[in-house]
Amino acid sequence: MEPMETRHFDCACHSCEHTMRLLYDPDDGDLWAEVHLAQWRPWWRRIWPALRHVFGYRSRYGNWDCLLFQPEDADRLCSLLEAWREKHRAPDRPGM
């Protein structure tokens, strides 16, 4: 059984609420993405969800949610990342 490979990605703004974790399971070949769900609403709009939480309501999604990538997503994800990397490649570092 091989260990899972984990990569964390933080937002350029360095907020801990803007975080994604990718996990690769070499045994199953699964690639998971976990995205931190931020509470961006103002305090007065969070009162009702807070009261529901206090009285035992549980969201089936919790505070985190995840996405299981499908094998057919790999080419689209790679091409998107390659395009992004090429767009942001520093001109003085061609072999990044």
Amino acid sitting at position 60: R
Residue 38 contacts residue 17 (beta carbons within 8 Å): yes
pTM: 0.51
Residue 96 located in a structural domain? no
pLDDT in the model for residue 89: 80
pLDDT in the model for residue 67: 65
Distances (CA, A) of 60 to 19, 53, 65: 21, 12, 10
Residue 95 located in a structural domain? no
What are the tens digits of pLDDT across the range 33-90? Answer: 888 766 667 878 878 877 887 888 777 656 555 566 778 888 888 887 888 788 778 7
Residue 94 located in a structural domain? no
Tell me how many domains the chain contains: 1
Cβ neighbours of residue 92 closer than 8 Å, sequence gap 6 or more: none
Residue 41 located in a structural domain? yes
Cβ neighbours of residue 38 closer than 8 Å, sequence gap 6 or more: 15, 17, 18
Domain of residue 21 covers: 5-88
Residue 81 located in a structural domain? yes
Q: How far apart are CA 36 and CA 54, in angstroms?
A: 21
Residue 67 located in a structural domain? yes
Residue 93 located in a structural domain? no
